[in-house]
Structure 1
Amino acid sequence: MTSIRPPSSLLFRGGIVLTHDENDRVVPLHEMDVLVRDNIIADIGKNISPPVGDTEVIDCKGKIISPGFVDTHHHLWQTQLKGRHAEEGLVAYMYSGNMMSYAYTPEDMYWGQLSGCLEAINAGTTTVLDHAHCAYTPDHATSALTATIDLGIRAIFAYTVPTRISKWDKSQCVPEQDLIPEWALKQLGDLSEKHNSPGSLVEVAMGFDLWFLPKDMVLGIFGALRQSRLRLVTAHVGRNAFMGLQSQVQKFKSYDLLRSPFAPAESSPDMPFLVLSHCNGISEEDLALLAASGTSISSTPGTESQMMGYPVALDPVLKREKAANVSLGVDCHSSESASIPLQARMLLQLTRVEKNAKMVAEGNFPSEDVTGTSEEVFNLATIRGARCLGLNDQIGSIEVGKKADLVVFDAAGSVGMLSAAEYDPVVAIVRFSEAADIECVVVDGVVRKRGGKLVSTKVSAEGKGELEWRDIAQEVRRSQKEIQARIDGLSLEKARKTLLGMFHTDVSRLVDAV
Structure 2
Amino acid sequence: MTTTTIIRDAHVVTMDDELGDLRHADLRVDGGVITAIGPDLEVPPGATVIDAAGKVALPGLVDSHRHVWQGAIGGAGGKVSLGGYFGVVLAGLLDKYSPEDVYAGVLWGALKALHSGVTTVADWSHIVTTPSHADENVRALRDSGIRAVFLYGPPVGQGVMRWFHESTERHPSDVRRMRAELADDSARVTMGLALRGPEFATPATTEYDFRLARELDVPISIHSGIPGYLLKYRTIDTLSELGQLGPDVHHAHGAQFSDDDLTRIAATGGAVTPCPTIDMTMAMGTFPLVGRALEHGLVPSFGTDTVAGSGADLFSEMRLALAAERARANAAALARDEPPATVDLDQRDVLRFATAGGAAAWGMQDRIGTLRPGKRADIILVDVTQPHLAPLNDPVTTIVLNAGASDVDTVLVDGVVVKRSGRLVGPLLDQARSLIEASRSRLFARADLSGVLGPDWAA
Further displaced range: 336-345 or 235-244: 235-244
Query: Aligned partners of 1:206 and 1:164: how far apart in 2?
Result: 17
Amino acid at match of 1:358: A
Query: Aligned partners of 1:176 and 1:391: how far apart in 2?
Result: 30
Amino acid at match of 1:282: F
The partner residue of 1:12 within 7, 25, 31 is 7
Q: Does structure 2 conserve the Cα–Cα contact (< 8 Å) formed by 1:7 and 1:55?
A: no
> Is 1:397 equivalent to 2:392 in the alignment?
no
1:136 corresponding residue in structure 2: 129
Q: Which of the pair has more CA radius of gyration?
A: 1
2:251 corresponding residue in structure 1: 276
1:169 corresponding residue in structure 2: none
Amino acid at match of 1:232: P
Task: After TM superposition, give the deviation of residue 163 of structure 1 in Å.
Answer: 2.7
2:395 corresponding residue in structure 1: 425
1:375 corresponding residue in structure 2: 348
Partner of 2:371, secondary structure, is coil
2:423 corresponding residue in structure 1: 453
Amino acid at match of 2:263: A
RMSD: 2.6
Task: After TM superposition, give the deviation of residue 366 of structure 1 in Å.
Answer: 2.4
Amino acid at match of 2:137: A
Query: Aligned partners of 1:447 and 1:431: how far apart in 2?
Result: 26
2:95 corresponding residue in structure 1: 102
> Is 1:326 equivalent to 2:314 in the alignment?
no
Q: Does structure 2 conserve the Cα–Cα contact (< 8 Å) formed by 1:76 and 1:117?
A: yes
Percent identical pairs in the alignment equals: 27
> Is 1:237 equivalent to 2:224 in the alignment?
yes
Amino acid at match of 1:236: H
Amino acid at match of 1:285: D
The alpha-carbon distance between structure 1 residues 139 and 35, as it changes in their structure 2 partners (threshold 3 A), is: same
Task: After TM superposition, give the deviation of residue 181 of structure 1 in Å.
Answer: 6.9
Q: Does structure 2 conserve the Cα–Cα contact (< 8 Å) formed by 1:15 and 1:33?
A: yes
Q: Does structure 2 conserve the Cα–Cα contact (< 8 Å) formed by 1:165 and 1:174?
A: no
Amino acid at match of 1:19: T
The partner residue of 1:479 within 434, 439, 451 is 439
Query: Aligned partners of 1:210 and 1:435: how far apart in 2?
Result: 34
- Structure 1 residues 267-416: aligned runs within 5 Å: 273-307=248-282, 308-316=284-292, 318-322=293-297, 324-366=298-340, 369-412=342-385, 414-416=386-388
Q: Does structure 1 conserve the Cα–Cα contact (< 8 Å) formed by 2:213 and 2:219?
A: no
2:238 corresponding residue in structure 1: 251
Task: After TM superposition, give the deviation of residue 214 of structure 1 in Å.
Answer: 5.8
1:440 corresponding residue in structure 2: 410
Amino acid at match of 1:331: D
**TM-score normalised according to structure 1 size:** 0.82
The partner residue of 1:66 within 49, 58, 61 is 58
The alpha-carbon distance between structure 1 residues 232 and 176, as it changes in their structure 2 partners (threshold 3 A), is: closer
Task: After TM superposition, give the deviation of residue 220 of structure 1 in Å.
Answer: 4.0
1:270 corresponding residue in structure 2: none
Q: Does structure 2 conserve the Cα–Cα contact (< 8 Å) formed by 1:7 and 1:56?
A: no
Amino acid at match of 1:249: I
2:211 corresponding residue in structure 1: 223
**TM-score normalised according to structure 2 size:** 0.91
Query: Aligned partners of 1:373 and 1:249: how far apart in 2?
Result: 30
- Structure 1 residues 193-232: aligned runs within 5 Å: 193-211=180-198, 215=203, 217-228=205-216, 230-232=217-219
Query: Aligned partners of 1:321 and 1:238: how far apart in 2?
Result: 15
**Residues 192-222 of structure 1: CA distance to partner in whole angstroms, max 9, x if unpaired?**
1221314311011111115365656544444
> Is 1:188 equivalent to 2:140 in the alignment?
no
Query: Aligned partners of 1:426 and 1:165: how far apart in 2?
Result: 45
The partner residue of 2:77 within 77, 82, 85 is 85
**Residues 131-166 of structure 1: CA distance to partner in whole angstroms, max 9, x if unpaired?**
111111111111111101111110000011243346
Structure 1: runs of 5+ lacking an equivalent: 1-5, 167-172, 261-272, 457-466, 494-514
The partner residue of 2:29 within 15, 33, 36 is 36
Amino acid at match of 2:423: K
Q: Does structure 2 conserve the Cα–Cα contact (< 8 Å) formed by 1:299 and 1:311?
A: no
Query: Aligned partners of 2:343 and 2:207: how far apart in 1?
Result: 44
Query: Aligned partners of 1:343 and 1:153: how far apart in 2?
Result: 20
Task: After TM superposition, give the deviation of residue 112 of structure 1 in Å.
Answer: 0.6
Q: Does structure 1 conserve the Cα–Cα contact (< 8 Å) formed by 2:287 and 2:328?
A: no
Query: Aligned partners of 1:490 and 1:209: how far apart in 2?
Result: 30
The alpha-carbon distance between structure 1 residues 70 and 135, as it changes in their structure 2 partners (threshold 3 A), is: same
Partner of 2:254, secondary structure, is strand
Query: Aligned partners of 1:216 and 1:360: how far apart in 2?
Result: 45
The alpha-carbon distance between structure 1 residues 491 and 409, as it changes in their structure 2 partners (threshold 3 A), is: closer
The alpha-carbon distance between structure 1 residues 424 and 83, as it changes in their structure 2 partners (threshold 3 A), is: same
1:157 corresponding residue in structure 2: 150
1:499 corresponding residue in structure 2: none
Corresponding residue pairs, total = 449
The alpha-carbon distance between structure 1 residues 98 and 415, as it changes in their structure 2 partners (threshold 3 A), is: farther
Partner of 2:388, secondary structure, is coil
* Greater helix share, structure number: 2
Task: After TM superposition, give the deviation of residue 257 of structure 1 in Å.
Answer: 2.8
Amino acid at match of 2:224: V
Partner of 2:11, secondary structure, is strand
**Residues 392-421 of structure 1: CA distance to partner in whole angstroms, max 9, x if unpaired?**
010000011000000001112x222112xx
Amino acid at match of 1:418: A
Query: Aligned partners of 2:232 and 2:139: how far apart in 1?
Result: 38
Amino acid at match of 1:223: R
Partner of 1:73, secondary structure, is strand
The alpha-carbon distance between structure 1 residues 180 and 16, as it changes in their structure 2 partners (threshold 3 A), is: farther
Amino acid at match of 1:353: A
The alpha-carbon distance between structure 1 residues 478 and 76, as it changes in their structure 2 partners (threshold 3 A), is: same
